[in-house]
Amino acid sequence: MRARVSWTLVLAAFLALPPFQRDRVEEMGFGKIFRIERMRVDPALTQALRSRWDSEASAFAFPWGHMIPSLEDVSRITGLRVYGRAVSGYTYPCYHDLAERLLNLPVERRSSLVPRIALQESLGLYEAGKNAGENEDEYLARLARVSRRELASEPGPQADLDLRRFLVLFLGRLLFATRGDAVHCRFLPLLENLGEVGGYAWGAAFLAHQFDGLSVSERQTSTSGFYPFLQVWAYLHLPVLGRGELTRPGLVPIARRWDSRRDTRHLADQLERLQEAIDSYSYLDVVWQPYLGEGDEGQPWLA
């Protein structure tokens, strides 16, 4: 599934970065998200949740009432920073000159999109396809090994170029992914000064992006973006649905603790059963405050 492929590619690029670059990513507040295990995609759960989304209220409309993913959910589940400067600014009709200067990558005139293949190849991810008989760990290790050969090993202008390319891939193909193959350049102006990237409230922007994505037609079946967030949100608040498995208790961010239970039934059958389970879900089994007793250790962005 595309969501799983995007997650693996971005994680491989992160693992390929030399230690000083990973330290910079950590200082920007993105390090914790890369400690999360590669979770199995649960499209049935995502679609069941989307079918309950009330766009006017910006909330899930369940039989027992409305529920809204919060900034605390984002911080606890993903480890992203939820306060700081707003992720906002002008959206330009053309990013050609900016992409050429900050990424050294081609963007057509009158375009805001950088080709995904060119972006991946700039990070050494030339052969992103999975080889026959290759398991997930072998696939990830191969991608990271090949990518590492192309990246600058010392600080300098080339290392800054590598980091911006990685951040555009991470933001455009994972955290704020949209439908389509190309990657939008709208975050590029915020990446010009790499020393300021960590001051933005990326978690708050991520939540707004989730709300926007949920408002898309429920007939959309593809899963894109950072899918573990909504899955883990459902595991915590609606545990009786039984879609998640707590395999690593105590880790932070909380998404590291969970995996998706394997369900071999057809997607349509899973979705029908999930919707029936939500309809009959007892409000007494809803967990409204899943973080009671949860400490702040390892959660630097909680306010």
Q: Helix or strand or coil: residue 301?
A: coil
Residue 238: per-residue pLDDT: 98
Residue 132: per-residue pLDDT: 84
CB 36 within 8 A of CB 247: no
Q: Which pLDDT tens digit goes with each residue over 78-130?
A: 999 999 999 998 888 888 889 999 999 988 777 788 888 899 999 999 877 88
CB 216 within 8 A of CB 243: no
Is residue 220 scored above 90 in pLDDT?
no
Average pLDDT, the chain: 90
Residue 128 CB burial class (10 angstroms; 0-12, 13-18, ≥19): middle
User: For residue 1, what pLDDT band results from cuts at 50, 70 and 90?
Assistant: very low
CA 265-38-267 angle, 5° bins: 15
Q: How many residues does the structure list for the chain?
A: 303
Residue 291: per-residue pLDDT: 94
Report how far residue 34's alpha carbon sits from residue 248's, in angstroms, rounded to the nearest whole number. Answer: 16
Q: Which pLDDT tens digit goes with each residue over 237-290?
A: 999 999 999 999 999 999 999 999 999 999 999 999 999 999 999 999 999 999
CB 39 within 8 A of CB 33: no
User: For residue 302, what pLDDT band results from cuts at 50, 70 and 90?
Assistant: low
How do the domains of the chain map onto residue ranges? 8-29+88-201, 39-79+226-292+298-302
Residue 167: per-residue pLDDT: 97
Place of tokens 């702040």: 296
